[in-house]
Amino acid sequence: MYHGRFKGTHYEVGFKWGQMLSKFGKKLDFCPTFKLTEEKYEFASQCVEEYKKYFPEILEEIKGIADGNEIPVETLQAILFCMYCFEFDNKCTCFAISTDNEIIFGRNSDFLVSLEKTYMNCIYHLDGSYSFNANTTAYVQMEDGVNQHGLAVGLTFIYPRIRKPGFNSGMLVRYLLEKCKTTQEAISELQCLPIASAQTITIADKEGDIAVIECNPENVIVITPGVGENFVATANNFNSAQMKQYRNPDIDDWRSDERYYTVYNALKKYKDEYSIPFAQSVLAGEHGFICQYDRKKNADTVWSVIYDLKNKQIWRVEGNPSRKKFKEDMRMKL
């Protein structure tokens, strides 16, 4: 996992990173997971208009990367804005726990083994934005993270039945980490932003407010803990009655429902054992299938992360948690 630190204006951090990659012979003028087509370029250009309205800073960062890497900015926009909207192989599992003693956010990121050396952990200190520590299989957009105010956010991708110009999953996570302090602020933003893709967004803040938001271009559904429960959980499918119509049973979702029920049943059964070691055991597959992939099939859990919002700690495994140990990341104080 590559570790990057980014400090300055959005354009400055983009330019420095793009230039650094160029010096090492790395060009960002292609996408390893999908082909760039005229349709994708057109869709990206429509998304640009939405980012101009709601998140112009991110356009500056992308422009900086393109200038530093000496490639057309339109190519980067097509790569970044079309992710999650057409096809993607990112799979993941999220949960959050909130009790008087524990506020825990946990997430496994499952993706392609062939690309695992390119995945990034990023610490951003950007002018005019909240600082955050986050992880991604791409760049610019984030998949999970926690910001300086103790707000943790993470996505799970759902293969889209519909799309429209707007923010995709990774850009939603990035925006919320930069702009929001609390779960309720984040929910309000999600209800106002134009959404391009289909996903769930799990959110937890330092006050213990937790939720899963199931959303796509047509709906934003907020799921909070059930009666007698102190947790929320999700994987790569919609579970609310309102959103089940958008499921796609023909897509290989890497045993999404099984992963979801592994987490749900463990959190429901062992509510007196909530702790960081317990969260680690859930993510490591000690309570059922969640990360036990066959790497020979080019699929695996490529990182696992826990944000301990009560004790202001970050725990991460750079690889599969069933084989590697969690280590505390102490580089950024929450």
Q: Which residue has the tokens 């933003």?
A: 189
173-217 confidence digits (pLDDT tens): 999 999 999 999 999 999 999 999 999 999 999 999 999 999 999
Report in angstroms the alpha-carbon separations of 13 from 7, 16, 47, 184.
6, 5, 22, 29
38-54 and 73-82 helices, crossing angle to 10°: 90
Which H or E run contains 283?
A: helix 276-283
The pLDDT score that the predictor gives to residue 253 is 72
Q: Are residues 27 and 144 in the same domain?
A: no
Q: Do the bridges between strand 231-234 and strand 91-98 make them parallel or antiparallel, or are there none, so unpaired?
A: antiparallel
Q: Are residues 216 and 255 in the same domain?
A: yes
Last residue of a domain, one of 82, 104, 127: 82
230-285 confidence digits (pLDDT tens): 999 999 999 999 999 998 777 757 788 999 999 999 999 999 999 999 999 999 99
The pLDDT score that the predictor gives to residue 252 is 59
Domain CATH code at residue 121: 3.60.60.10
Helix, strand, coil fractions of the chain, as percent rounded to 5: 35, 25, 40
124-183 confidence digits (pLDDT tens): 999 999 999 999 999 999 999 999 999 999 999 998 889 999 999 999 999 999 999 999
Report in angstroms the alpha-carbon separations of 162 from 85, 95, 186, 187, 248.
8, 26, 23, 21, 11
Range of the domain at 64: 2-82
Last residue of a domain, one of 82, 108, 138: 82
276-283 and 256-269 helices, crossing angle to 10°: 150
Q: Are residues 152 and 279 in the same domain?
A: yes
Residue 98 and residue 205 in contact, taking contact as beta carbons nearer than 8 Å: no
> 144 by DSSP, 3-state: which?
strand
Q: Are residues 174 and 287 in the same domain?
A: yes
Q: Are residues 163 and 211 in the same domain?
A: yes
The pLDDT score that the predictor gives to residue 90 is 60
3-state secondary structure 67-93: HHHCCCHHHHHHHHHHCCCCCCCCEEE
73-82 and 169-179 helices, crossing angle to 10°: 100
Domain CATH code at residue 9: 1.10.10
Into how many domains does the chain fold?
Answer: 2
Last residue of a domain, one of 82, 113, 137: 82
207-217 confidence digits (pLDDT tens): 999 999 999 99
Q: Are residues 35 and 10 in the same domain?
A: yes
26-36 confidence digits (pLDDT tens): 999 988 778 89
10-21 confidence digits (pLDDT tens): 999 999 999 999
